[in-house]
Structure 1
């Protein structure tokens, strides 16, 4: 049977900026401000930089404004797997990073997560 709704093997491919993000119980996490699909060639903080990934031959450094703004080893993992950057509600709330495998589903304009807010990575600055 064919469905009229296009499907994608990876939910992150269906995410666009401006979508709402909710945790497994439907609590608001924030709004998507950036989407980066994974790049298996992205460099790692542990390996010598020699790939053609999104950062070329550089290890991500948050001091220079590279995204994602997290410690270098985590940044490399996020770049390899793909991530969303989410603007959290609240004046003093930090943006959050969501790994591609933490996305359970995408329904219309809502991204549903497999984990709660406490398990998400906050922006470093």
Structure 2
């Protein structure tokens, strides 16, 4: 029984989990109702972002005075997800939902893909409480 075999098994398990999360996220559409693990209606899905396992860092766009007009317009646009960089990188890797809600002052929360328990035809059921979800910055 060598130690090397366990690492490969764990890696395969993590890859399978990532595939499962992407499959779940792909079943979500904008406008769906979102309900947390306590049965509280969180709000509605505004944005569905599938995970990109290759997303490593999030860089703020730089507004260089010599940039083209298109680049300046792009740099002025709000970047998603609007959360601290370390959390944004994790959300981009795993996938997430942006949910409009009246339960937080900023008006939106982000649901990491691993917080989605099930997806039905009309709603997304979470395995987390609304208070555990990151709010938009």
TM bucket normalised to smaller: 0.7 to 0.9
TM-score with structure 2 setting the length: 0.68
Q: In structure 2, what is the Cα distance between the partners aligned to 1:61 and 1:99? A: 21
Residue 95 (1) aligns with residue 108 (2)? yes
Q: CA deviation at 1:89?
A: 2.7
Q: TM-score, normalised by structure 1?
A: 0.74
Aligned residue-pair number:
103
| Secondary structure class of the residue paired with 1:96 | strand
User: Which structure is larger by alpha-carbon Rg, 1 or 2?
Assistant: 2
1: distance between equivalents of 2:40 and 2:126? 10
Q: Which structure 2 segments of 5+ residues have no match?
A: 1-18, 62-74
Where does structure 1 differ by over 4 angstroms across 4 or more consecutive aligned residues? 90-93
Match of 2:60 in 1: 61
Quote the RMSD (CA, aligned, Å).
Answer: 2.2
1:78 paired to 2:77: no
Distance 2:105 2:135 in 1: 12
3-state SS in 2 of match to 1:73? helix
Given the superposition, is the C-alpha separation of residues 17 and 80 from structure 1 closer, same or farther in structure 2, using an over 3 Å criterion? same
More helix by share: 2
